[in-house]
Every structure is written in C-alpha cells, then in structure tokens.
Structure 1
Amino acid sequence: MTTETETETQTDTATGKTAGARAARPFRLAFPPVSGTLRPRQLAVSAGLAVAVFVALCWNVSIGEYGIPLTDVARALTGSGDPGTLLVVQELRLPRAMTGLLAGIAFGMSGALFQTMTRNPLASPDMIGLTQGAGTAVVAGIVLGWDFGLGTQALGLLGALASALLVYGLAWRRGTTGYRIILVGIGVSWICLSATDYLLARGGRFQAQAALGWLVGNLNGRDWQQAAPLAYALVVLVPAALLIGRLMRTLQLGDDVAKGLGTRVQAVRLTVLLTGVGLVAFATAAAGPVAFVALAAPQIAQRLCRTAWPPPLAGGLTGAAIVLASDVLARELIPGTELPVGIVTGVLGAPVLLWLLIRVNRAGSGG
C-alpha cells in the first residue's frame, strides 16, 4: 500500500521529469528531423554539379586568342605543364574564371537562403534591394569619390548591409514575415535604382562609363585583387550558410509551427539576412550585380535535388556553373567582342523569372 509521502514523491519525480523534458525539448528540437543530413540524391547532384563546375572552369580558361586544350588546362591547374601554358592559365586567365566561380557560388547560396527564409521562389537579393544597395554604394564611390579610403569590397558590403537593415526595419511589425520583406524590398530596390541613376547622370562621362560597365555585371579585367577578398569571405560565409540552411528549414512549416518546435524565428531570420548580405555584397563588389543568378540557380538546384526547399550547397554550385558558362558565351557569341557576363545571364534568366511568375500565379501563392 502506497503511503501519502510515497505518492507525493512519485508525483514530484514524474513532474520533475516532465518539466525537465519540456525544458530540454526546445534544445533537442533545434535540429528537427526535416533538417537532417544530405540525402543520397542531394549528394549525387552536388557531386555532379562540382564536376560540371570544374569542366566549366577549364572550358572558361581554355578559350582566348591563344587556345589551350582542356587537358593542358587541367594539368596547368595542378602546376604541371610547359612554362608558357602555366603563365597564361594561372596568371592571366585563372583570376577571371575564379572570380566568376566564387561569385556564382555566393549568388546561388544567397538566393537559396532568401527563398527558403521567405518561402517564396521570387525572393532573391536582386529582387529585394540588396544587390541594388551594394551597387548604389559602389557607384557613389566611383562617381563622387565617396570611398573614404575603402575598397570596392567594403563599399559593397556597407551598401548591402544598409539596404538589408532598411528592409528589415521597415518590414518589422511585432516581427517580420517573408511576404513583408519581399514587398518592402521591392520598394527599397527602386529607391536604390533611382539613386544610382541620379549618380550616373551627375557624374562625368568617364566615371559614368566605368560605373555602367560594372553595373551590368562584368568579369572583364578581373584579377586576384577581386578574387582573393571574395575567396577569403567565402571561407567564413559558406560554412555559415550551410549551418543556417539546416537551422531554418523549420521555417518552411510556418512561423507558428517553427516557434512550437523551439526555433527562434526572428533570430534565425535576422541571421539569414546578415549571412545573405555578406554573400551578396562580396560577390557584387567583385563581379558586379550579375543578374538573375541568385533567382534562377536555387530553383534549378531544387528541381535537380527534388527537395521541398532550395538546397544552399547545390544552389551555390549551380550558380557557379551558370556564371562560368555564361561568361564563355559572352566571349564567344560575337567574334572579336567580349560582352559583359550580366547581359547573358539576364537574357537566360528572364524566361526563368517569367516561368516562376506564371507558376506562382497559378498556384495562388503570392507569399
């Protein structure tokens, strides 16, 4: 027969276990089942995309006035081959190709982060004002000389960060939602575009030409001064984006469900915003605002991986392949003329945007 003291002890013990379980539950569910590890298909697709990126890199480096076979390019990338080939590959052509590769990774991963955070396939840095903010800051530095001793990378970072904070602040109303971020971001992007147009009209002819060449998205003349800072930034930002990509997948279930599972929605959303800003800013400062890569690459990767959200790793690799292949087309499309890579990505990306608009309209999922 159980005494009253024993009953109270058992009740307290059970209550303590229950309270302890409830207290530990948010921490245990910080990595929910949907965030798990990469699925076999994602691993296979990512591996295939990595091979495609390497082939596109070799193809990009092989073309020019002095054509180099792909096998010789591959050997030169490993440090073997004749001195002439090594000079052309490693010193003259590789910096341009690496700038395009790294910028494509940054644009693709940032697009995947924003589209997952907002649960909207139309959300990308060039749709919500981040790219335009970075562009306005860099153009101000070129036209007005307001660089304050900072380089293009720092100006792009400050411009994108200012745009992101403005979007986040204006979208805040007891928290933020993906739909409000997109609407406010569109307005901020038009403000930045208007400011950029004013700066171009005010600047001198040569300054305006230099700014316009950069604004289109251009890899012409890129060297290690542009590629190296971007590479250093991605060493930090890529692992951060992969980790955040796991943490925020509960946002796909909706804010209320995510909060119930222990996810700090606003903290995760702000962290995603800052990480995406860093990726966009460094990529834009290095290669210019290359159009539509951040929009199209995550959607292509999502369909290749057959996931419910754009995977950041596959999205980044897809972005790199798009930029490298587009740069080859830009150099070979018109003999004797090197078009800016942003023109080619714009032509290729516009149909993707129209398709997404039609798809979202039919699904009735505007946000």
Structure 2
Amino acid sequence: MNPAKTMYHKPNQYRLGLIGLILVCSTISIIALSSGQLTLSASQLLQALMGSGPEYLVTVVTQWRLPRIFMAMTLGAALGISGTIFQSLIRNPLGSPDVIGFNTGSYTGVIVTIILFGGHYFHLAAGALIGGIGSAALVYLLAYRQGVQGFRLIIVGIAISAMLTALNTWMLISASLESAMSAALWGAGTLNGITWNKGIPAAMVIFITIFFATTLTTRMRLLEMGDDAANALGVAAERTRLWLMLAGVALTAAVTAAAGPVSFIALAAPQLAKRLTGSHSVTFPAAGLMGATLLLTADFLSQTLFAPNQLPVGVVTVSIGGIYLVWLLLRESKSL
C-alpha cells in the first residue's frame, strides 16, 4: 500500500485546514502592515504597496514592515518543516530541534563567531550553520548503535544541549561586554531590524532546502514504517535519515542565522497542524503554514503587547511554547 495515498483521515478537513491557515496568515499580515506607531488606512496601505504613495509611507511599508512579515512567515515555515522532519524520523512528538539541542548548537556557533570575528551578519550565518551541523553530527554519533532510535536520540540530544548551554553561559561570562550583549540579544530571538538584505540570503537557503526535503517526502513516509520495511521497499534507510537530518539542521541553522534561536515553533507546529488537518502524518505544506502562522502571530504580539516597547519574538514563543510543552508532556505521560 502506498503510504502517500493513506496519509489523510479526512481529505476535506485537510483542505479546509490549509485554507484556514492561509486566511489567518493573510489577515494577520494585513493587520501588521497597517498597524503600529504609524497607522495606515486601507487606501494608504494599497498605495504604499504599489509604490505610489508618499515616500515615507512607501519606506515604512515596503522596507520596514514587509520584510519583517515576509521573514516571519518564511522562518516560521522553515521551523515547522524542520520539526516535521525530526518528529517523523524520531517518531515522537518531542522530537524537534529545540529539544534535541540543534538550536543550542547553532547558538554556540554564533557566540564563537561574535567573540572571534565580530558581529558581521554573514559570519554569524556561517557560524550558526557550522554549529548546528556540528551539534547534529555529535548527537547522531553518540546515539548511533547499529542505527538510530528515536528515544536514544532525544536523550542524547537533551544531554548535549545541556552541556552546550553551560558552554554558552561560560563564553558569555568570559567575553567582553560588547560581545556578550550582542550574543545575548541574538540569543533572545528577534526580528527587530530585519531587512531585505539580511533576510533574502536566509530565505534562499530555506527555499532550496525545503525543495530538497520535498524530494525525500516519500522516503520519509516509508521510514515511518520502520527501517526493515523501508529497506525492503528499496529505500536506503540510514542514508535517507542522514539527508533528512541535514535538511532539518540546515533549516534550523538558517533561522538561527537570520533571527537567533526561536524556540517551540518547531515543536508545536507539526502537532497542531496534524490536529487541524486530521492527518495520519504531518505534511510539509500543513506544518509550514502552521509554523508561519505561529511565528507571524508571535511577532505581531511582541510588537503590540507592550507598545511602544517591543519584545524579542523569542520571549513570546517561549512563553506560549512552555504552556504547550507542559500540556504535551502531561498528554504523553497518560498514554504510557
């Protein structure tokens, strides 16, 4: 039986779920574009988007607000798809880059880069990518025992994350005040000051990686049936797992490079998308849209809850995600 054909419980619910997420994303985007310290009417917003309004309005909308909204949706989609990959490979709803420690590894790479090379954006992006891949390789090697099992990977990942957190704290304490402040601000996870120049490189990496991961979707579904079944159907289980993990880490590192470590979106988006769409397995479109909606909503709240002061978006996602994690842990404990 083709798993791709038995993926959904309710096809109508799946389509309605996707449409609902698109509508919510669109609505929040329009509200975010038109609201703020400078509130715009519908006609002013349309003129600014068309480039025919006053120059200051065009700048506010197209150069300040629009790149932030675009990157919030892009980074949220990347986190949702990354979480889907890891939860599928580990076969556990706790399997996400946040819990396993890949976010922490990317942040370690950023701190090292700030201390050694300063805060140049592309240096930070490279540091986040190297740190994420390095931590993933370490977790994978330590968890490998004639293959990788989900529970072992989670336990090893939590241990490595704890050690990297301690290392990060030590580096922040030992660094100069300027470097420590830059790294701490980055570590909060924020979209403040995001521009097209900063966002487009990360977005390109994300789109290319998502396209690559999409080509592995069928193999990923076969892996969910078990390594023996996947191998019997012609899928090289371990090699496919490595490619999928690399894609998931690359997505997480790209997000960390652009906005810092944004927590809990990768954990929550796949499971919320699964419940909304009524699917057997989470699909990339559903998880991506859910991740985009969650991060866009969190960023909008970070700008408006304590206006005119703005919170880092990571503070909002941690606050909401902590509640979700407690609920998930209680739910999982009842099923044991």
C-alpha contact 1:76 1:85 (8 A) present in aligned 2: yes
For residue 127 of structure 1, the aligned residue among 99, 104, 108 is 99
Structure 2 match to 1:35: 4
Q: How far 1:68 sits from its partner (Å)?
A: 1.7
Q: How far 1:346 sits from its partner (Å)?
A: 0.8
Alpha-carbon distance in structure 2 between the residues aligned to 1:212 and 1:144: 16
Over 3 Å counting, the alpha-carbon distance change for 1:248 and 1:203 in structure 2 is: same
Alpha-carbon distance in structure 2 between the residues aligned to 1:291 and 1:141: 21
Report the 3-state secondary structure (helix = DSSP H, G, I; strand = E; otherwise coil) of the residue aligned with 1:127: helix
Over 3 Å counting, the alpha-carbon distance change for 1:218 and 1:112 in structure 2 is: same
Structure 2 match to 1:275: 247
One-letter code of the match for 1:34? P
C-alpha contact 2:105 2:135 (8 A) present in aligned 1: yes
Alpha-carbon distance in structure 1 between the residues aligned to 2:80 and 2:150: 19
Between Structure 1 and Structure 2, whose CA radius of gyration is higher? Answer: 1
Question: Does 1:355 find its partner at 2:327?
Answer: yes
Q: How does 1:5-84 map to 2 (within 5 A)?
A: 33-36=2-5, 39-69=11-41, 72-73=44-45, 76-77=48-49, 79=51, 81-84=53-56
Structure 1 match to 2:126: 154
Over 3 Å counting, the alpha-carbon distance change for 1:42 and 1:332 in structure 2 is: same
For residue 196 of structure 1, the aligned residue among 162, 168, 173 is 168
TM-score scaled to structure 2, two decimals?
Answer: 0.92
One-letter code of the match for 2:45? V
For residue 216 of structure 1, the aligned residue among 188, 209, 213 is 188
Alpha-carbon distance in structure 2 between the residues aligned to 1:78 and 1:164: 44
Q: How far 1:78 sits from its partner (Å)?
A: 5.3
C-alpha contact 1:58 1:74 (8 A) present in aligned 2: no
Q: Which runs of 5+ in 1 are unaligned?
A: 1-31
Q: How far 1:61 sits from its partner (Å)?
A: 2.3
Over 3 Å counting, the alpha-carbon distance change for 1:72 and 1:117 in structure 2 is: farther
Alpha-carbon distance in structure 2 between the residues aligned to 1:345 and 1:295: 11
For residue 258 of structure 2, the aligned residue among 286, 294, 301 is 286
For residue 73 of structure 2, the aligned residue among 77, 81, 101 is 101
One-letter code of the match for 1:47? I
For residue 234 of structure 2, the aligned residue among 240, 247, 262 is 262
C-alpha contact 1:60 1:324 (8 A) present in aligned 2: no
Q: Cα deviations across residues 137-187 of structure 1 (Å, max 9, x unaligned)?
A: 101111333789952211111110111111111111222122222121111
Alpha-carbon distance in structure 2 between the residues aligned to 1:245 and 1:180: 24
Structure 2 match to 1:16: none
C-alpha contact 1:115 1:310 (8 A) present in aligned 2: no
Report the 3-state secondary structure (helix = DSSP H, G, I; strand = E; otherwise coil) of the residue aligned with 1:104: helix
Q: Which runs of 5+ in 2 are unaligned?
A: none
One-letter code of the match for 2:332? V
TM-score scaled to structure 1, two decimals?
Answer: 0.85
Q: Cα deviations across residues 183-217 of structure 1 (Å, max 9, x unaligned)?
A: 21111111211111111001122221221111011
Question: Does 1:172 find its partner at 2:144?
Answer: yes
For residue 181 of structure 1, the aligned residue among 153, 165, 170 is 153
How many aligned residue pairs are there?
333
C-alpha contact 1:60 1:325 (8 A) present in aligned 2: no
C-alpha contact 2:112 2:127 (8 A) present in aligned 1: no
One-letter code of the match for 2:129? L
RMSD: 2.2
Identity value in percent: 36
Q: How far 1:330 sits from its partner (Å)?
A: 1.0
